[in-house]
Amino acid sequence: MEKADTPLQQVQANIAQACKIARRDPGEVTLVAVSKTHPAEAIQPLLIEGQRHFGENRVQEAQAKWPALREEYPAVQLHLIGQLQSNKAEDAVALFDAIHSLDRSSLVKALGKAMDKTGRRVPCFVQVDVGEEEQKGGCPIAELPALLDQAREADIPIAGLMCIPPFDIEPTPFFALLDKLARDHGPADDSWGRSMGMSGDYETAVKLGATHVRVGTALFGERG
């Protein structure tokens, strides 16, 4: 009997299938395994399978877990996917390889300062509030051009846009909107990333242009 696919293999296969339907190159899609709340022992098997991109939503939790794992797996790329307080900007810049939650002017200032100080220029996705739900964070669409200007002035490398659509409604229009915003506000060669899609909707997101999907539950099981 053949061995059953691991959750990682299943998610990778689903991404590949969504790419095929959308006629996209699977190499354009980065799977970010969201390991928040899960201990190192739960992360190890994915590292052994070859997964290298991981997402965390809290600076402190990531600081506690990742330095040791990274010694063993130096190619790991850490993505900060949760809301970031300005007073943690310097710690975040020191630890993470990408920040997906740049969403306000005060944070642009703090991150710009942290990058100047440390000399590490960490690519940032600007989180956009596509569903007009303040509690999830995200820059209002009307304020996006000004925030992008400010980020450029602060010499923050912009990796693209990120969104978390409203819970429990069809995400397609929100993913399509983020894709359009990235095309409208990004460089002429359309090279910006789109960080969108979670366990429940990553295949849909890939069909609509996601370059980074943030998948937790489908890889690690429910969070306790």
Interface with ligand PLP by CB under 6 A: which range of 85-93, 111-119, 176-184, 209-217?
Answer: 209-217
Is 36 one of the binding residues for ligand PLP (CB under 6 A)? yes
Q: Which of residues 141-160 bind ligand PLP (CB under 6 A)?
A: none
Report, in Å, the least distance between residue 168 CB and ligand PLP. 12
Cβ closest to ligand PLP, residue 37 vs residue 154:
37
To ligand PLP, the closest distance from the beta carbon of 32 in angstroms equals 8
Could you tell me how many residues of this chain bind ligand PLP (CB under 6 A)?
A: 14
CA distances from 77 to 15, 34, 54, 136, 199 (A): 19, 12, 6, 24, 20
Beta carbon nearer to ligand PLP, 112 or 138: 138
Q: What is the DSSP string of 55-70?
A: EES-HHHHHHHHHHHH
The alpha carbon of 126 is separated from its chain's Cα centroid by a whole number of angstroms, namely 10
Range 74-113, binding ligand PLP (CB under 6 A): 81-82
> How far apart are alpha carbons 29 and 46 in whole angstroms?
18
Q: Which of 57, 126, 196, 210 binds ligand PLP (CB under 6 A)?
A: 57
C-alpha closest to that of 112 among 140, 85, 93: 93
Q: Which is closer to ligand PLP, CB of 144 or CB of 163? A: 163
Which residue's entry shows tokens 């890889």? Answer: 219
Q: Is residue 164 involved in binding ligand PLP (CB under 6 A)?
A: yes
At its nearest, how many Å lie between ligand PLP and the CB of residue 123? 17
CB of 202 to ligand PLP, least distance (A): 8
Min. distance of Cβ 71 from ligand PLP in angstroms? 25
Structure tokens at 101: 């939650």
Nearer Cβ to ligand PLP (207/212): 212
Query: What angle is formed at CA 73 by the lines to CA 68 and CA 78, rounded to 5 degrees?
Result: 80
**Cα angle: 88, vertex 107, 137; to 5 degrees:** 95
Question: What gap in Å lies between CA 166 and CA 196, rounded to an integer?
Answer: 12
Minimum distance between the CB of residue 218 and ligand PLP, rounded to whole angstroms? Answer: 6
Q: How far apart are CA 172 and CA 69, in angstroms?
A: 36
Residues that bind ligand PLP (CB under 6 A): 34, 36, 57, 81-82, 164, 198-200, 214-218
